Amino acid sequence: MAQQPIPPDLGQKAYAAYREATGGRTHDGRFMPAWEDLGEQIQGAWTAAAVAIHTDALAGGA
């Protein structure tokens, strides 16, 4: 089976979904910044988390 490509905006989509699910608030009630205002390190962390989930899902993980 051919490997599925990882969407380049996967981290951004995950961040947007989390932001929507929480009403745009962090776990301690602060407002979440826009994706563009996060900085490279935090964007990279969101992307790494999303890629890990994506990869696990494609491999048949839970």
More confident residue, 2 or 36: 36
Q: What is the pTM of this model?
A: 0.84
The confidence score (pLDDT) of residue 5 equals: 73
The confidence score (pLDDT) of residue 62 equals: 59
Rounded to an integer, the average pLDDT of 35-62 is 90
Question: Does residue 7 contact residue 50 with C-beta atoms inside 8 Å?
Answer: no
Question: Does residue 7 contact residue 13 with C-beta atoms inside 8 Å?
Answer: yes
